[in-house]
Amino acid sequence: MKIEKINTLGQLKKEGYKSISIKDELRNNLRTKIGNKEKTFTGIHGYENTVIPELERAILSRHNINLLGLRGQAKTRLARQMINLLDEWIPIVDGSEINDDPFNPISRYATNLIEEKGEDTPISWLHRSERFSEKLATPDVTVADIIGDVDPIKAANLKLSYADDRVIHFGMIPRANRSIFVINELPDLQARIQVALFNILQEGDIQIRGFKLRLPLDMQFVFTANPEDYTNRGSIVTPLKDRIGSQILTHYPETIEVAKTITQQEAKLDERQADLVYVPNIAKDILEQISFQARESEFIDHKSGISARMSITAYENLLSTAEYRALQSGDSTTLLRLSDFIGIIPAITGKVELVYEGEQEGAASVAHSLIADAIKTLFPDYFPNIEKLEKEDYESPYQELINWFFEESGFELLDDVSDATYKEKLDVIAPLNDLIIKYQPELSKEDSYFMKEFLLWGLVEYKKLSKYRLSEGFRFKDLYGSYISGL
């Protein structure tokens, strides 16, 4: 069917077009995709065996849907991708405010036009990209905004009384007839506004200012909500929850690999950054582990959640820190350093909600602790574990390295040194090279320098070395030598 050749109701009938509800439309197209083994929701990782199957079953059941989960769990993205399950084009009565189906007109405008022109009623076509509406629920949203109200200006211009339904100005929901309508953060919607949705969800019609007006809207509703909102800022009224067919729980990535995939996909990088900065894989692991640590931290409010956006913005900051340093030192390329993680502090402090104990510690201090905890957690994946209590005759694999620091007055790694100087400084520590060769023999030369720094930071976290922040870098020392020497 070539839609450019169909512009009247008669031509549409001649083509044998049959209209179906939006829920059947979604269901039919989903059945086709599943049958053809096509991926329904793309670019959404970690939900393949959990959220997406539940969402697809809800669509097959023709349900209105509530996506319930903490911030940064791709709830809105899932809802937006549902438009890919719509037919590419649908016919509407030309000029209709509420996308009237030519075969089932519901507005006075459309019914009058079809009565007047019959088979010659003009038809226009609506693309699926225009069949998606979204509203962020805020306390100032009114019934007039989302459903409609009497328009006194229209009444005056048309010389109509307020008893005439032609004076109605339709709100967002009627204007989204035959479309997907998303209300984000549903609990923030005032209870009286939620009540106004009852009829739309159950019977599919609306009521405006007492008019005896029945508009059987054809809608697919998707709501999003944060579990925290049920107690803190508002709640979803029980009769409304009862009218939502499926409630689907979203979640954060369950593995570092999935989290890395999301961050790499979503981070907005300048191509010059990617060419300039070499990022070892372990650095990406540490970055994602920071979010995992944050979700378990005693200083952070778990109910608020740790958005995936924290890792994304932290990664952008991390590369910018290395880029900034390279530009200052004149390096055409640079290796990412563990000390560059100091640059992600602003990305962390703006993304976490602290509990009372966290407020006492301070946001920056909590951010530093998260980085330290991530390093400590990943350290045993690369090097022998360090037990808290060691036997007297136990010979630590790190003893030569610890002795090196005991014999030296200290070791400084400044933030702004060139790559050549950075490598020279680390190569001086012979026991570091030996440990890397022994425990990470397959490591590339580029990755080895980051791993050396990681080893030093790890020994600090396991209380084998000490680390001090200088104004321009870090100073590493043995743990007890300063006390013995009196320094």
Residue given tokens 């209590």 in the structure block: 389
Q: Which residues of 225-260 are buried (b: 16+ CB within 10 A; e: fewer)?
A: bbebbeeeebbbbeebeebbeebbebebbeebebbb
More confident residue, 247 or 151: 247
Cα–Cα separations (whole angstroms), residue 107 to 98, 179, 226, 368: 7, 16, 36, 60
DSSP per residue, 367-380:
HHHHHHHHHHHHGG
pLDDT at 145 over 50: yes
Angle at 102 between CA 100 and CA 104, to 5 degrees: 75
pTM of the full predicted structure?
0.87
Give the pLDDT confidence score for residue 163 in this predicted structure.
56
C-alpha count within 13 angstroms, C-beta hemisphere, residue 295: 17
pLDDT at 148 over 90: no
Cα–Cα separations (whole angstroms), residue 90 to 94, 327, 427: 12, 54, 68
- Nearest one of 286, 270, 400 to 337, comparing CA atoms: 286
Neighbour order of strands in the sheet with 473-478 = 411-414, 473-478, 465-469
Distance CA 344, CA 339 (A): 10
Name every residue whose Cβ is closer than 8 Å to that of residue 118 and which is 6 or more positions away in sequence.
9, 10
Mean pLDDT for the stretch of residues 444-453: 93
pLDDT over 90, % of the chain: 63
The helix/strand/coil state of 316 is helix
Mean pLDDT for the stretch of residues 390-405: 81
Mean pLDDT for the stretch of residues 358-383: 94
Range from 151-155, 265-269, 395-399, 483-487 that averages highest in pLDDT? 265-269
Give the pLDDT confidence score for residue 159 in this predicted structure.
65
CB atoms within 10 A of CB 87: 15
Answer whether 484's CB lies under 8 Å from 473's CB. no
pLDDT over 70, % of the chain: 90
Mean pLDDT for the stretch of residues 69-97: 94
pLDDT at 482 over 70: no
Mean pLDDT for the stretch of residues 333-357: 93
